[in-house]
Chain A
Amino acid sequence: DIQMTQSPSTLSASVGDRVTITCRASQTISGFLAWYQQKPGKAPKLLIYKASNIEDGVPSRFSGSGSGTDFTLTISSLQPEDFATYYCQHYDNYQWTFGQGTRVEIK
């Protein structure tokens, strides 16, 4: 099975900072990589799909990139509402796998 490892597990940042979260696969994967944001007590929300496509309604400060085994989610200028936990998710052959999450907290 393909394992998805996110880093860091926790990230402390300030409003206005550029933030990058990494998701590494245990082997080369296709571009079926999505990113979600989750706030406490709420369901995950889709941000990015197929590695680099931004979901409708998601602010343009969010972007995704990567290929092979390494993928990144970047927030270009962190806003107060962006403090949350972020998860990557991979799809392959009717199996969907999530990373363990990166918590973005206020510095």
Chain B
Amino acid sequence: VEMEESGGSVVHPGGSLRLSCAASGIQFGSYAMSWVRQAPGQGPEWVATISGTGFNTYYADFVRGRFTVSRDNSKNTLYLQMNSLRAGDTATYYCANNNWNDMSYFNHWGPGTPVTVSS
């Protein structure tokens, strides 16, 4: 199983960014997928999760209304649209698949993509 994030960049406060995560070696549409971020020197922080079908999405309170998670199962790709970015959103963003039966933990992680929000 491999996952690779892309799209991280330096962006001004208030700006937008779209992250992508390409997955391989997994029946992509069978798994919920998540974004987890980690600010420098801090622990991981869950951001968002989307069900295998894409019908259900879940967000951490601090991103609800600003970030949107989506997926294209035909392309085995997960996305995170980030709007109204703030300095506090600066972090490495990881994609990960949730375990198959109850989504309670994260099996496989990508190497991450860095996002810096700075003027």
Contact = CB atoms under 8 A, between A and B. Distances in A.
A94 B109 contact: no
B119 interface: no
Contacts, number: 59
B104 A44 contact: no
Nearest to A88: B43
B111 A42 contact: yes
Interface residues of A, number: 23
Given A43-B94, A43-B112, A98 B44 contact: yes
A39 interface: no
A38 B92 CA distance: 14
Given A43-B94, A49-B99, A96 B46 contact: yes
Nearest to A99: B43
A94 B94 CA distance: 18
Contact of A89 (B103, B105, B108): B105
B42 to A, nearest CB: 8
Interface in B36-52: 36, 43-46, 49
B58 A97 contact: no
B45 A94 contact: no
Contacts of A44: 36, 44, 94, 106, 109
Contacts of B49: 94, 96
A91 B111 contact: no
B45 A46 contact: no
A45 B44 contact: no
B84 interface: no
Contacts of A95: 46, 58, 60
Interface string B55-91: 0001010000000000000000000000000000000
Interface of A: 32, 34, 36, 38, 42-46, 49-50, 55, 87, 89, 91, 94-101
Given A87-B43, A100-B43, A101-B43, 4 more contacts: A55-B107, A91-B104, A96-B36, A99-B43
